[in-house]
Amino acid sequence: GAVVSQHPSRVICKSGTSVKIECRSLDFQATTMFWYRQFPKQSLMLMATSNEGSKATYEQGVEKDKFLINHASLTLSTLTVTSAHPEDSSFYICSARAVAGTENTEAFFGQGTRLTVV
Amino acid sequence: KQEVTQIPAALSVPEGENLVLNCSFTDSAIYNLQWFRQDPGKGLTSLLLIQSSQREQTSGRLNASLDKSSGRSTLYIAASQPGDSATYLCAVRSQAGTALIFGKGTTLSVSS
């Protein structure tokens, strides 16, 4: 199956700082990438949908100015958590979808990033 | 709005037992359904993908069924092993190209 690489896998940062998480599709071009967040013992909740070359679409309740998403190329999307606070501590995971014409492909997920804000 | 529910939330079985995990979704107009495995603190491993036109998919000891009209899917695990211990997530995609909507998962523990 296709490979999605997410980096870093773990990060600890101080409250008030910003953290950037990268999501790369290694062997295919991803027109769309999805960003999810998972709190302990909860399911994955969609945060935003990112399309290459355009602004991300955020789900209700997700602050677009706090969670900055950039999808500048067909193989890379980044999520920046700005001015992080302890309540932002969570597991963040990305998912990539291949270019149009492969609609029936599975959803490919990165390994996830465990963010801890202290 | 699509909602996905998984029952039970947790399940403990002895090794060798066959078991069924349940998933239900509120909007039957789905594009496809996918089952994942998640180990503690890890990402997702895709297990089975069922398109809306399909009734079931099999991979090794795993069999997933889909009844779109009733909004249900089941994941059958045969001859369970301790290595099967993990959280199993069910997710549906309502339309092509849209994000998956996840259930909260069933945490399975298989004892030796």
Question: What average pLDDT does range B67-96 have in this prediction?
Answer: 95
- State the Cα–Cα distance between residues A111 and A92, nearest whole angstrom: 9
Q: Is B53 on the interface with A (CB under 8 A)?
A: no
Indicate if the pLDDT at residue A97 is higher than 70.
Answer: yes
Which secondary structure element, helix H or strand E, spans residue A86, and what is its range? none
- The whole-number pLDDT of residue A29 equals 85
Q: Is residue A1 scored above 70 in pLDDT?
A: no
| End-to-end CA gap in chain B | 41
Residue A14 tokens, joined = 């101080």
Structure tokens at B107: 């945490």
Side-chain-side CA neighbours of residue A43 (13 Å):
20
Q: Is the pLDDT of residue B26 over 90?
A: yes
Distance from CA of B75 to the nearest CA of A (A): 17
Q: Assign B78 a pLDDT band (cuts: 50, 70, 90).
A: very high
Among B41, B99, B102, the residue with its CB nearest the CB of A114 is B41
DSSP chain B: ---EEEE-SEEEEETT--EEEEEEES----SEEEEEEE-TT--EEEEEEEETT-SEEEETTEEEEEETTTTEEEEEE-S--GGG-EEEEEEEESSTTSPEEE---EEEEEE-
Flag whether residue B103 sits within 8 Å of chain A, measured between CB atoms: yes
Q: From CA B47, how far away is CA B2, in angstroms rounded?
A: 22
Confidence (pLDDT) at B38: 93
Distance CA(B33)–CA(B51), nearest Å, equals 6
A89 reaches B (C-beta below 8 A): no
Q: According to the model, what pLDDT value does residue A105 have?
A: 59
Q: Does B71 touch chain A (CB under 8 A)?
A: no
CB-CB under 8 Å, B43 with A44 = no
Is the torsion defined by CA of A20, A117, A40, B13 positive or negative? positive
Question: What mean pLDDT is reported for chain A?
Answer: 90
Does the pLDDT of residue B17 top 60, yes or no?
yes
Whether residue A99 is predicted with pLDDT greater than 70 in this model: the reply is no
Mean pLDDT for A84-94 is 96
Question: With 90 as the cut, is the pLDDT of residue A27 above it?
Answer: no
Q: In terms of CA atoms, which chain A residue is nearest residue B53?
A: A104
Considering only CB atoms, which chain B residues are within 8 Å of A93? 43-44
Q: Does position A98 have pLDDT exceeding 80, yes or no?
A: no
Q: Are strands A90-98 and A108-109 parallel, antiparallel or unpaired?
A: antiparallel
Which pLDDT score is estimated for A101?
A: 54
Contact yes or no for B43 and A112 at CB 8 A: yes
| pLDDT single digits (tens) A52-63 | 888 899 999 999
Q: How large a percentage of chain A has pLDDT more than 70?
A: 92
* Tokens 């009734």, residue located: B55
pLDDT at A104: 52
